[in-house]
Amino acid sequence: MHILVLNGPNLNLLGVREPEHYGTQTYADLTAMIAQEAESLGITAECRQTNHEGTLVDWIQEARGTADGIVINPAAYTHTSVAILDAVKAVQIPTVEVHISDPDTRDEFRKISYIRAACIGTVKGKGLPGYLEAMRTLKAYLDTRTT
């Protein structure tokens, strides 16, 4: 089982960026945690980060035939991108949305998530461990589909 963990804009600045919302651990810390969780789940996970909306769309499309599932934090594009929603709907790959903070308790404009409608689940407000919960949710979902 292979999953993609996709991250949108500014998540490369974890550890530096607004620590009151995103904590003090770095993007490298996050990818290390994900690698460890993948190993204990007996799956493989590939992490990618980009600041570009179209690149996220390309990666979601390319996941067809290569990834069994997607964990995605679209960051600010959560609240703006119909293109990313459409890409997830188009490829029909089980996808879990994750946010480090809880956007629903922050600014009004963060309360809309376009991608949520295409996801099998959402994990938010749980810090970096939220990614690991999203991976477990995805694995459990994929397990029920294959058994």
Whether 69 and 96 have beta carbons less than 8 Å apart is answered as: yes
Whether 7 and 33 have beta carbons less than 8 Å apart is answered as: no
Token pair for 138: 């995805």
Nearer to ligand DQA, 89 or 111 (CB): 111
Nearer to ligand DQA, 68 or 70 (CB): 70
Q: How far is the CB of 23 from ligand DQA (least distance, A)?
A: 10
Per CB under 6 A, 76 contacts ligand DQA: yes
Q: What is the largest CA-CA distance in the chain?
A: 43
Element (H, E) at 5: strand 2-7
Per CB under 6 A, 6 contacts ligand DQA: no
Per CB under 6 A, 31 contacts ligand DQA: no
Set 27, 77, 99, 114: catalytic member? 99
Token pair for 130: 């939220």
Per CB under 6 A, 73 contacts ligand DQA: yes
Q: How far is the CB of 110 from ligand DQA (least distance, A)?
A: 4
Per CB under 6 A, 136 contacts ligand DQA: no
Tokens 């949520």 — which residue? 116
99 a catalytic residue: yes
User: What's the order of all strands across the beta sheet hosting 69-73?
Assistant: 44-49, 2-7, 69-73, 95-99, 121-124
Q: How far is the CB of 139 from ligand DQA (least distance, A)?
A: 21
Token pair for 49: 């980060």
Q: Rounded to 5 degrees, what are φ and ψ at 3?
A: -125, 150
Per CB under 6 A, 100 contacts ligand DQA: yes
> Which residues are catalytic, by number?
22, 99
For binding to ligand DQA (CB under 6 A), which residues are involved? 10, 73, 75-76, 78, 99-101, 103, 110
